[in-house]
Amino acid sequence: MFAAETRAFSKARDAITEPSHAQYEYIVVGGGTAGCAIAATLSEHYKVLLLERGGTPYGNPSIERLEGWADLLRDDPTESSERSPIQAFRSADGVHNRRARVLGGGSAINAGFYNRASDAEVRAAGWKPKSVQEAYEWVEERIASPASLGPWQKALKNGLVQAGVTPDNGLTYEHIQGTKLGHSIFDAQGRRHTAADLLFSANDELLTVLTFASAQRIIFNVSDENKQPRATGVEYTDSRNATHFAYLQDGFQNEVILSAGALGSPQLLLLSGIGSCEHLAEFNITCHVDLSAVGAEMVDNPINAIVLVSPNPLETSLISVAGITHEGVVIEGASGGNWTWQWPGMGQLNIFPPLERSVEMISLVQTNLQNLSSNTKEQIDQSGFILSKVYDPISSGTLRLKSRDVSQNPYVKFNYYTHPRDVETCIRGVKYLHKLLQTPAFQGFRYTTVTPIIALLYPELSSSEGERTDGAYIPDLKNRTETANWCRDTVTTIWHFHGGCVLGKVVDKRYRVFGVRSLRVVDGSTFTKSPGTNPQATVMMLGRYVGVRMLKDRKIAEETVNSRN
């Protein structure tokens, strides 16, 4: 394993080393979950440039080790800390969120759960099942392992079955109704395997990987008024802010591929002149294609969570088990490692509505944590985190530019729980949380009485109404108004945001951008629904799937040209 890591680290180099005006057959913007997969695939036969705005994940224990994940949560990255693997953003809803800025993308900073899309989702996307299967297997043999099943995760699994989330499907990659033990990109030794590991399979002679290479815009040839604009290259800056240009070699099959994620890809399209012409005019950006769907249908799966303090020590675990209900709710959990109360946005510790969650509030929590006694800190560390996720929310929002500076986050609003059906789904999730806490499987993890964690963190505030068991605050189901308000007030994210370049509206079935030539978007921004309980498996699969299809299509096209000659 060490040799592979050294090879991967040496393969990537800082963008300052790359000469300007270099030429390639494919330029992939974004070295994340999709970008690494498609770059590795295309490099089997063609010259590929992969541009990643962050550094590599190798040598960073917070990324590489399961027990280091709490450090990623404690990290407070700012938009200016360009060496951080995480870029913080806060949606206009008020929810604090994070996007990846590192080779491997979200797979380098997430909780590791690996789960395929359902058969229905594969059909809805128009993908070929056999090719999808082959693409998943290509990814899995390189990075996936069975998830661990310690005492807490075993209790969660058994409790879900006892709460009626049946059947018990055991260990499986599949996204099917019931309770399952899934797979993870953390191996049995607790080492993370990110999408960057897929580059081990690339052709070193044909692939160039540049880190700290921040794409500024896509370059178009618009000289022929009778034809659609054609992507010809990418302008990017290096870590010293020097400007470089990478160009496509001559050839109609050569392309630029955007894989910059659900925020990055629509943002780059807008900055490059593809989007609502009216919106682009606000920033004096030349509009090449009037495509108002860019930045539309932005969705983030809302989660609501409770923290359960245990009288017994808990193993350090991330997501291993999923309860997939027939009511649109997914239940998951983590334990130990002191991250259970540091989840992004503080999870159910958010007694303030999202728009009231200020930096001062977070500072207050951190101050109160520092002032706790060592015994109380140990008690809090000895806790488990259970979340309820709305699997297929209807509520959606928009993404727009805030400036022409690509390093600044765009404006994004997800409109959590604005659709009443999503609120009803959350209430059903609360019912499952109530049932789960009462199951025999969880009785060994419950105090009879314990000071609520909220009271420890906010001692100056009076208690809220609702049930408090084992430190968890959970609303009274008899009061639907209170429960609905709890859903809205404690909403947070699990980073499954998607949309902005939706399939059928911004890109066609082959992921080619409408209205231009030689440009595709291949990542989660094309999704209308986050597939599986964690989308990373499907995003990596998509990169491989589209890459293989592009190779096949190109081979056919080249054979056709050769036969005519």
Dump pLDDT digits (tens) for 500-551.
999 999 999 999 999 999 999 999 999 999 999 999 999 999 999 999 999 9
Q: What is the mean pLDDT of the chain?
A: 88
Alpha helices in 393-524 (DSSP H): 420-437, 453-457, 480-489
Q: Sign (positive/negative) of CA torsion 322, 325, 347, 72?
A: positive
The per-residue pLDDT for 477 is 85
Task: Quote the pLDDT of residue 441.
Answer: 93
Catalytic residue, from 175, 183, 496, 498: name it: 496
Average pLDDT over residues 303-311: 82
Predicted pLDDT at 38: 98
Choice among 179-188, 269-278, 447-456 with the minimum mean pLDDT: 447-456
pLDDT at 3: 41
Whole-number Å distance between alpha carbons of 26 and 233? 9
Residue 79 has a pLDDT of 46
pLDDT at residue 90 tops 50? yes
Residue 108 has pLDDT above 90, yes or no: yes
What single string gives the DSSP state of each residue in 256-299?
EEE--HHHHHHHHHHHTTEE-HHHHHTTT---SEE-TTTTEEEB
Q: What is the mean pLDDT of residues 135-155?
A: 95
pLDDT of residue 290: 97
Q: What is the DSSP letter of 498?
A: B
The pLDDT value given to residue 416: 98
| Poorest-pLDDT segment among 113-117, 266-270, 317-321 | 317-321
Catalytic residue status for 434: no
pLDDT at 80 over 50: no
What is the pLDDT at residue 561? Answer: 75
pTM of the model: 0.93
Indicate if the pLDDT at residue 270 is higher than 50.
Answer: yes
Distance (Å, whole) CA 218 – CA 236:
9
Provide the pLDDT confidence category of residue 9 given band limits of 50, 70 and 90: very low
Residue, of 260 and 314, whose pLDDT is higher: 260
| DSSP state for residue 80 in the 8-state scheme | T
Residues annotated as binding site? 102, 495-496, 524, 535-536
Average pLDDT over every residue of 441-470: 58
Question: What's the alpha-carbon Rg for the chain, to the nearest Å?
Answer: 23
pLDDT on residue 460: 55
Determine the pLDDT at residue 20: 74
Q: Which residue has the higher pLDDT, 341 or 262?
A: 262
Predicted confidence at residue 465, as pLDDT, reads 46
First and final CA of the chain: distance in angstroms?
48
Least confident of 42-56, 60-74, 166-180, 369-383: 369-383
For residues 265-285, give the mean pLDDT: 98
Q: What is the 3-state secondary structure (H, E, C) of 144-194?
A: CEECCCCHHHHHHHHHHHHCCCCCEEEECCCCCCEEEECEECECCCCEECC
Q: Per the annotation, where are the binding residues for FAD?
A: 102, 495-496, 524, 535-536
Burial of 373 from C-beta contacts in 10 A (0-12 / 13-18 / 19+): exposed
Tokens, residue 239: 């870590």
Mean pLDDT of 29-53: 97
Q: Cα–Cα distances in Å, from 255 out to 82, 233, 249, 278?
A: 28, 8, 9, 27
Q: Which residue has the higher pLDDT, 139 or 561?
A: 139
Residues 421-437 have pLDDT tens digits of: 999 999 999 999 999 98
Whose CA is closest to 552, among 207, 34, 46?
A: 46
% of the chain surpassing 70 pLDDT = 86
Instruction: Tell me how long the chain is.
Output: 565
Residues 6+ apart with CB under 8 A from 110: 495, 534, 536
Instruction: Give residue-wise pLDDT tens across range 320-364.
Output: 999 999 999 999 998 876 655 555 444 445 567 888 777 677 667
> What is the pLDDT confidence band of residue 67, given thresholds at 50, 70 and 90?
confident
Better pLDDT: 464 or 358:
358
